[in-house]
């Protein structure tokens, strides 16, 4: 469902962006052509007037606010002028914008736009022949508001058509994209399952060699995940923590049994060999691009907050956050778990022992956060006995982090 919602949001956002871009471009083109449309219609009006002119009185029924007929000697044959003409001409110099000018031979035409009142004027001078009289006609034509509204309405409808076409296209594409998205999710789930299987096999192999069950890897990883949630860590870093927590001791595969399984205390030389499991672990995970981000935990989970750990002797904030988180979870699970050589400590005693090591082994602030959630969470986890149930919990957590679901 998350993927569907995300896909729908992406499609809607894309459609909105495309609509804005296309509509803006279309509107710009359409508005830039208004003056050409006005000029064309005004020319047709003038042409009709000249072709059908029989009586000067019929000019009174037109939208010409100024018109003048003259003969070749510039003698006025007919003259008409509205009272508002003087103000209109004055406004030409203040509010108006000349959009189109035609000046070829004996023909002069200009479209003027009064932007304040949104009115268009057609100013012209043409030669004409009427009743064997050669002369000129000049004037100013006020483009009718109703005709202008028709142009704007046409622009509006064309924009609606563009928007509707884009929305229909996206509606038709949505099921196709969802189908392809489901195929992608299925492949992602299969790949994730394969990667988790590799991680589980590696973790299980180490647990078998170290005389533990795989439950330790699951528990300590689930503790770490809950810890990450309490710290509001992002999904990517949380996933890195999961990988590192589950595979923290993967390098022990490279340690010989006589050292790894020794019942007593290791000698100095043996302990130095044991330390090499960190380097072995780094080498193992570096062979997988998917596991590469487990590096911080695998490489630094034996560092100490006071700088007395190994292998780098890092101190305090120089130790990566994921490693500092994991160290607390790892030691806590070791304290509460039953081992061949010891019984598990109680929850209260284990928490007190963690607190005692704050500032030396562990980050003080992280210990404080850990102690706020671990009692309730430990009681939940401790009731789970089978590896399969722990595996299911961790698997669901990972699916959530990768935003994979079955819907």
Q: Which residues of 285-321 are buried (b: 16+ CB within 10 A; e: fewer)?
A: beeeebbebbbbbbbbbbbbbeeebeeeebeeeebbb
| Per-residue pLDDT, 355 | 95
Rounded distance between C-alpha atoms, residue 330 and residue 384, angstroms? 18
> pLDDT under 50 in the chain at which residues?
406-407
3-class secondary-structure state, position 172: helix
| Per-residue pLDDT, 349 | 94
**CA 117, 118, 123, 128 torsion: positive or negative?**
negative
Rounded distance between C-alpha atoms, residue 99 and residue 42, angstroms? 14
Q: Which structural domains are found in the chain, ordered by start? A: 33-143 (3.30.450), 183-401 (1.10.3210.10)
Is the whole-model pTM more than 0.85?
Answer: no
Span 159-172, pLDDT tens digits: 888 888 878 877 77
| Per-residue pLDDT, 297 | 93
Cα pseudo-dihedral 9, 15, 18, 20, rounded to 10? -90
| Per-residue pLDDT, 25 | 79
Answer yes or no: are the C-beta atoms of 343 and 335 closer than 8 Å. Answer: no
């Amino acid at each position: 469902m998350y993927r569907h919602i995300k896909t729908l949001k992406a499609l809607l956002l894309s459609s909105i962006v495309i609509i804005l871009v296309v509509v803006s471009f279309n509107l710009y083109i359409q508005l830039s052509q208004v003056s050409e449309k006005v000029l064309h219609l005004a020319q047709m009006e003038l042409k009709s007037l000249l072709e059908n002119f029989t009586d000067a009185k019929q000019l009174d029924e037109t939208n010409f606010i100024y018109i003048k007929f003259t003969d070749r000697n510039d003698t006025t044959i007919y003259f008409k002028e509205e009272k508002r003409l003087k103000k209109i001409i004055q406004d030409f110099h203040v509010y108006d914008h000349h959009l189109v000018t035609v000046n070829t031979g004996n023909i002069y035409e200009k479209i003027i736009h009064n932007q304040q009142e949104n009115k268009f004027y057609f100013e012209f001078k043409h030669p004409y022949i009427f009743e064997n009289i050669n002369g000129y006609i000049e004037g100013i034509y006020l483009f009718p508001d109703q005709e202008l509204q028709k142009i704007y309405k046409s622009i509006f409808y064309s924009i609606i058509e563009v928007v509707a076409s884009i929305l229909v296209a996206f509606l038709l594409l949505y099921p196709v994209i969802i189908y392809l998205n489901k195929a992608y999710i299925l492949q992602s789930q299969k790949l994730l399952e394969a990667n988790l299987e590799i991680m589980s096999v590696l973790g299980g192999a180490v647990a078998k060699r170290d005389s533990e069950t795989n439950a330790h890897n699951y528990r300590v990883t689930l503790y770490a995940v809950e810890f990450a949630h309490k710290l509001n860590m992002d999904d990517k870093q949380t996933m890195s923590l999961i990988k590192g927590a589950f595979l923290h001791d993967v390098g022990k595969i490279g340690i010989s049994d006589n050292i790894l399984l020794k019942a007593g205390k290791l000698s100095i030389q043996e302990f130095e060999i044991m330390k090499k499991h960190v380097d072995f672990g780094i080498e193992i995970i570096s062979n997988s691009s998917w596991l590469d981000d487990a590096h911080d935990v695998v490489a630094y989970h034996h560092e100490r907050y006071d700088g007395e750990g190994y292998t780098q002797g890092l101190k305090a904030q120089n130790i990566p956050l994921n490693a500092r988180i994991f160290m607390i979870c790892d030691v806590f699970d070791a304290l509460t778990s039953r081992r061949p050589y010891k019984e598990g400590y109680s929850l209260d005693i284990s928490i007190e022992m963690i607190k005692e090591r704050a500032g030396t082994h562990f980050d003080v602030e992280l210990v404080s956060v850990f102690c706020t959630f671990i009692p309730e969470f430990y009681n939940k986890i401790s009731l789970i006995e089978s590896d399969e149930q722990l595996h299911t919990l961790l698997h669901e957590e990972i699916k959530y982090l990768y935003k994979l679901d079955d819907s």
